[in-house]
Amino acid sequence: MKVLVIGAGLVGLALAFRLRQQGAEVAVVDPEPPGEGGASFGNAGAISSTSVVPLAMPGLLKQVPRMLLDPAAPLHIPARYWLRAAPWLLRFVAAARPATVARAAAALDQLQKLALEQHLALARDIGAPELIATNGNLYVYRDEAQLAKDKAGFELRRSYGARVEILDRAGIDALEPQIGPAYRIGVFFPDHGHCASPARYGRAVAEALLRAGGEIRRDRIRALTVEGGRVTGAQGEAQHHAADEVVVAAGAWSARLLAPLGYRIPLETQRGYHVNLPASGLSLSRPITPADRKVFITPMEGAVRVAGTVEIAGLDAAPNEARARLLYDDLAAIFPEARTEGASGFWMGHRPCLPDSVPVIGPARRIGGLWFAFGHGHLGLTGSAPTAQMLAPAILGRPANQEFTPFAAERFA
Ligand SMILES: Cc1cc2nc3c(=O)[nH]c(=O)nc-3n(C[C@H](O)[C@H](O)[C@H](O)COP(=O)(O)OP(=O)(O)OC[C@H]3O[C@@H](n4cnc5c(N)ncnc54)[C@H](O)[C@@H]3O)c2cc1C
């Protein structure tokens, strides 16, 4: 069976690798080098297995109007993009309904429950086990009032069996003593992990895929080709890529590829930024998130990475350096002593976001041989290995032991 995977982000690469391991003839196609063209290259590295709480929660929605008026808030939508963003935002608000939140949490739990184990297995199978660390993630809060805003989320996680440990300042010091005194309460997720280099992870999966006999092609897909209700491949700028099965795993660009086939999928990019600090003076063991700043500070190979901010401004606008610079304020708030000399340039990536925070995974119901694997939003590193594990057997026609309905594209019809 010939499978074409469109998109060499971590979702596409992990899936291609698992498909190849299970006997498929696989090619991944992307105009950029594997793992470098999208969000997978520069994310914050957190593997947040118990993050079953969708973004659209009533508590967060209450904070949105204030955020929109504050250019330094964690969420920013430039005024020129308000009209374009409005339909997506309306769906986002609607997704905060209790029944939708409950459905989303169940789907995210189904996908991510074993994420850390699945990443450990993937890293081992590609010969790079050192890439995945299992030291948990730590969120920190200034006071009880701030903590109270996230309580509903913690309860939701706990209802799915997550361990959520509340720490006092002594507990924070025992894990990460360099955290500044303003943060008095910690919430520790011992079942989370992190990736020490998302870029090297992507490259290592790609190399393992090539070693196993898979193919990586450099081309930009312009259109999927369909005959008699069945996909026949994809037309790139350089050539036609014939295939029996085609997987759209093009991150935030996926909806554009599907629109000509009649799919209207509300996929919006939430742009985020990072900066790497090679001489920060910080010695950290795990990703740390100051909850008021919604930013991740993660120990990575050779640098501490500060990653975060959400900017809804579309796929085509240039990066906004003023937004990226806020990462320095976020860092100073929690680590007043951190040093920034030798910092990398700012990087921007596109989180592929659906209003209910649940990715689209599984078969296209209307077109034979077409599969979806996109829309993992803020959790696409976490969800990549699980998506591969879930989807590969289904594409190969084997018992998948998984229910795809919660992830179906048709839920937006
Ligand atoms: C600042 C930031 C921090 C984040 N932190 C975390 C985190 O800590 N934990 C976590 O789990 N997730 C995190 N994420 C989210 C995560 O990075 C994404 O959800 C994930 O990388 C999506 O992977 P992907 O493979 O679907 O898409 P991408 O990595 O974006 O890859 C898509 C690929 O498709 C290719 N492509 C696009 N159009 C075409 C075309 N026409 N033809 C062929 N190829 C095409 C692109 O070149 C790209 O290589 C973060 C994201 C950002 C931006």
* pLDDT tens per residue across span 89-103: 999 999 999 999 999
Asked if 187 and 139 touch (Cβ cutoff 8 Å), the reply is yes
CA distance 294 to 101: 20
pLDDT value, residue 23: 97
The pLDDT of residue 125 is above 90:
yes
In this prediction, residue 360 carries a pLDDT of: 98
Kindly write down the DSSP assignment for every residue of 318-366, as one continuous string. PP-HHHHHHHHHHHHHH-TT---TTPPPPEEEEEEE-TTS--EEEE-SS
Please state the rounded mean pLDDT for residues 384-397: 97
Distance 380 CA to ligand 1 centre (A): 7
Sheet architecture: strand order including 46-47: 46-47, 193-195, 132-133
Phi, psi dihedrals of residue 252, rounded to the nearest 5°: -65, -15
Q: Which residue's C-alpha comes closest to atom 21 of ligand 1?
A: 40
The per-residue pLDDT for 71 is 78
Contact 330, 291 (CB under 8 A): no
Give residue 184 CA to ligand 1 midpoint distance, Å: 34
Classify residue 413 by burial, with Cβ atoms within 10 Å: 0-12, 13-18, 19+. exposed
> pLDDT tens digits, residue range 109-124?
999 999 999 999 999 9
Q: What is the pLDDT of residues 237-277, one digit of tens each?
A: 999 999 999 999 999 999 999 999 999 999 999 999 999 99
Phi (first) and psi of residue 317, to 5 degrees: -70, 150
| CATH number of the CATH domain containing 8 | 3.50.50.60
**249 Cα–ligand 1 center, Å:** 9
pLDDT in tens, 15-74: 999 999 999 999 999 999 999 999 999 999 999 999 999 999 877 777 777 777 887 888
pTM score, two decimals? 0.97
CA atoms within 13 A on the CB side of 263: 24
Q: Is the pLDDT score of 350 beyond 80?
A: yes
Task: Give the residue numbers spanning the domain of 136.
Answer: 2-412
Select from 203, 378, 382, 384 the residue to mutate for testing ligand 1; criterion: most ligand atoms less than 8 Å from CB: 378
In the predicted structure, residue 176 carries a pLDDT above the cut 90: yes
Torsions phi, psi for 5 (to 5 deg): -105, 120
Report the Cα 99 to chain-centroid distance in Å. 23
Atom of ligand 1 nearest to the CA of 8: 49
At a CB cut-off of 8 Å and minimum separation 6, what does 59 contact? 149, 150, 152, 153
Count helices and strands (H / E) in the chain: 12, 21
Lowest-pLDDT range of 22-31, 50-59, 206-215, 363-372: 50-59
Please say if the pLDDT value at position 413 is more than 80: no
Q: What letter would DSSP give residue 396? A: T
Output the average pLDDT for the chain. Answer: 96
* pLDDT confidence band for 127 (50 / 70 / 90): very high
pLDDT tens track for 128-138: 999 999 999 99
Q: Based on the structure, what is the number of domains in the chain?
A: 1
More confident residue, 400 or 49: 49
From 293, 358, 376, 387, give the residue whose CB has the most ligand 1 atoms within 8 Å, as the site to mutate: 376
